[in-house]
């Protein structure tokens, strides 16, 4: 195609200089344009002239969902309302939706880096992209579509659901790529099998947004549809929308667009940076967002930075898949545990569709107990004693390999396996 949507930086120093310029611009812009930010920055005693290095970001105050609620319906607005050309809202479960305004430049920036996602996924102008995500007030549909058009591929904006039409388009229009949630992907894969259409379609790639998916689930989708590749696309309405990164064909992590935002990974309890490579909360600061700039916005999403550069050669840094929400974090024996880690523990023995529950209890002895109840799936062979593998993986997760005071108790209970992790050698299982 010739045209590229990748940044022109040759090395990380150039990227960091770009980030510093963007950070200074954002703080200045937010201070001048938003009374809300002005008050917060003044309270923190920081001006844009105080930002001399990227490390100075740590002197800036955090922005939270509370700040978005306070400014409803135009939170964080840092430009005159007449410059807002569009709004989108998040599908928040809280009382009030988060509404975010966009200037034309914000839209253009978003569309540009969304086109980059398709480039990263290895699509070309010959690809036909079936977009099966929500449209309207949600950021998803329009982002996928405008990014696709900007990239130069053919957009098929079918929208979510409507399985009959999805199947018809996959066959009649020979879509080569499909954008949807992973659960929709699984549904489509099973429909293709049920309708015996696998040999009649040309689908090569799927791009999954907005929810976590297990490796087992992805493997099943890939197998059922005979896909070449699948990609994860992260994103949230506050930060433009979906398309803020993508894993490349090497799948060593999700490249994120560090030329548009700075990503910090902080301990959600202490709000200090985690050790390199450890899981923490994603905190984002935009570098050129006009209508609703974000300064250290606490996303509540959990992930880790991938330290080593990607073998694909692209210098854009990477974070891991989203590991869940910081609200779902468990502190067990002083160790932070996240839903995504439990997924990893269970993935070798569980199949797509497996459900699990984590029970945390403190018993009369004052000690904490963790019980993982895993629903048995088809294909799980009890005689293989899968709970033993689970036990070892739980110990690794909890970094208790060498602790003689730790014992893992397992048993098969009715139709579910139960693994109890006790802090000492109690013999009983809690049922």
**Which residues sit at the interface with Zn ion, rule CB under 5 A?**
248, 250, 310, 312, 314
Closest Cα partner for 201 from 228, 180, 182?
Answer: 228
Shortest approach of Zn ion to residue 33 CB, angstroms?
A: 36
Closest Cα partner for 225 from 188, 175, 272, 269?
Answer: 188
Shortest approach of Zn ion to residue 357 CB, angstroms?
A: 36
Separation of alpha carbons 334 and 78, rounded Å: 41
**Which residue, 24 or 314, is less far from Zn ion as judged by CB?**
314
How far does CA 64 lie from the centroid of its chain?
A: 18
Please state at what angle helix 104-120 crosses helix 139-151, rounded to 10 degrees. 70
Shortest approach of Zn ion to residue 375 CB, angstroms?
A: 35
**Which residue, 252 or 351, is less far from Zn ion as judged by CB?**
252
Closest Cα partner for 247 from 140, 127, 120?
Answer: 120
Handedness of CA 132, 136, 141, 145 (dihedral sign): positive
**Which residue, 195 or 250, is less far from Zn ion as judged by CB?**
250
Shortest approach of Zn ion to residue 302 CB, angstroms?
A: 22
Q: Is 307 within 8 Å of 281 (Cβ atoms)?
A: no
Work out the number of other CB atoms within 10 angstroms of the CB of residue 45. 9
**Which residue, 57 or 258, is less far from Zn ion as judged by CB?**
258
**Which residue, 154 or 312, is less far from Zn ion as judged by CB?**
312
**Which residue, 71 or 122, is less far from Zn ion as judged by CB?**
122
Q: Please state whether 198 falls in left (phi above 0), alpha (psi between -120 and 50) or beta.
A: alpha
Shortest approach of Zn ion to residue 250 CB, angstroms?
A: 5
Shortest approach of Zn ion to residue 313 CB, angstroms?
A: 7
Sort 401 into a burial class: Cβ within 10 Å, 0-12 / 13-18 / 19+: exposed
Separation of alpha carbons 137 and 304, rounded Å: 30
Shortest approach of Zn ion to residue 322 CB, angstroms?
A: 18
Separation of alpha carbons 277 and 293, rounded Å: 27
Determine the straight-line distance between the first and last CA of the chain, rounded to whole angstroms: 61
Shortest approach of Zn ion to residue 255 CB, angstroms?
A: 6
Shortest approach of Zn ion to residue 336 CB, angstroms?
A: 28
Q: Which two tokens stand for residue 148?
A: 């696709």
**Which residue, 54 or 312, is less far from Zn ion as judged by CB?**
312
Work out the number of other CB atoms within 10 angstroms of the CB of residue 431. 10
How far does CA 279 lie from the centroid of its chain?
A: 13
3-state SS, residue 51: coil
Establish how many alpha carbons lie within 13 A of residue 69's alpha carbon, considering only the half-sphere containing its beta carbon.
Answer: 8
**Which residue, 246 or 370, is less far from Zn ion as judged by CB?**
246
Shortest approach of Zn ion to residue 48 CB, angstroms?
A: 33
**Which residue, 146 or 310, is less far from Zn ion as judged by CB?**
310
Separation of alpha carbons 150 and 316, rounded Å: 21
**Which residue, 201 or 318, is less far from Zn ion as judged by CB?**
318
Q: What value does the CA radius of gyration of the chain take, rounded to a whole number of Å?
A: 23
Shortest approach of Zn ion to residue 120 CB, angstroms?
A: 8
Closest Cα partner for 115 from 261, 3, 254, 259?
Answer: 3
For the chain, counts of helices (H) and of strands (E)? 10, 22
Give residue for tokens 């699984």: 186
**Which residue, 6 or 54, is less far from Zn ion as judged by CB?**
6
């Amino acid at each position: 195609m010739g045209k590229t949507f990748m940044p022109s930086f040759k090395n990380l120093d150039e990227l960091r200089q770009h980030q510093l310029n963007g950070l200074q611009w954002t703080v200045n812009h937010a201070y001048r344009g938003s009374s809300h930010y002005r008050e917060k920055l003044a309270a923190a005693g920081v001006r844009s002239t105080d930002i001399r290095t990227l490390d100075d970001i740590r002197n800036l105050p955090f922005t939270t969902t509370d700040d978005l609620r306070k400014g409803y319906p135009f939170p964080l607005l840092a430009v005159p309302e007449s410059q807002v050309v569009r709004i989108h809202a998040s599908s928040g479960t809280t009382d009030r939706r988060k509404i975010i305004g966009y200037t034309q430049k914000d839209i253009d920036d978003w569309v540009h880096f969304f086109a980059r996602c398709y480039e990263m996924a290895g699509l070309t102008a010959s690809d036909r992209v079936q977009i099966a995500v929500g449209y309207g007030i949600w950021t998803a549909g329009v982002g996928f579509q405008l990014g696709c058009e900007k990239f130069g591929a053919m957009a098929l904006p079918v929208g979510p659901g409507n399985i009959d039409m999805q199947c018809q388009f996959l066959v009649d229009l020979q879509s080569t790529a499909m954008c949807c949630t992973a659960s929709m992907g699984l549904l489509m894969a099973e429909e293709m099998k049920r309708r015996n259409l696998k040999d009649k379609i040309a689908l090569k790639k799927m791009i999954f947004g907005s929810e976590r998916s297990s490796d087992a689930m992805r493997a099943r989708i890939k197998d059922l549809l005979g896909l070449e590749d699948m990609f994860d696309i992260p994103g949230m309405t506050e930060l433009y929308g979906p398309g803020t990164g993508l894993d490349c064909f090497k799948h060593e992590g999700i490249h994120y667009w560090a030329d548009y935002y700075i990503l910090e990974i902080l301990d959600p309890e202490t709000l200090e940076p985690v050790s390199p490579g450890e899981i923490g909360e994603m905190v984002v600061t935009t570098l050129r967002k006009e209508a609703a700039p974000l300064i250290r916005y606490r996303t509540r999403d959990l992930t880790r930075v991938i330290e080593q550069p990607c073998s694909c050669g692209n210098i854009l840094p990477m974070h891991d898949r989203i590991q869940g929400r910081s609200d779902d974090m468990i502190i067990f024996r002083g160790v932070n545990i996240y839903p995504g880690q439990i997924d990893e523990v269970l993935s070798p023995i569980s199949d797509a569709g497996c459900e699990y529950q984590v029970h945390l209890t403190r018993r009369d002895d004052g000690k904490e107990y963790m019980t993982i109840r895993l629903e048995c799936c088809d294909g799980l062979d009890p005689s293989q004693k899968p709970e033993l593998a689970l036990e070892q993986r739980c110990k690794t997760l909890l970094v208790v390999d060498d602790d003689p005071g730790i014992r893992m108790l397992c048993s098969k209970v009715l139709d579910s396996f139960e693994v109890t992790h006790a802090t000492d050698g109690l013999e009983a299982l809690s049922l």
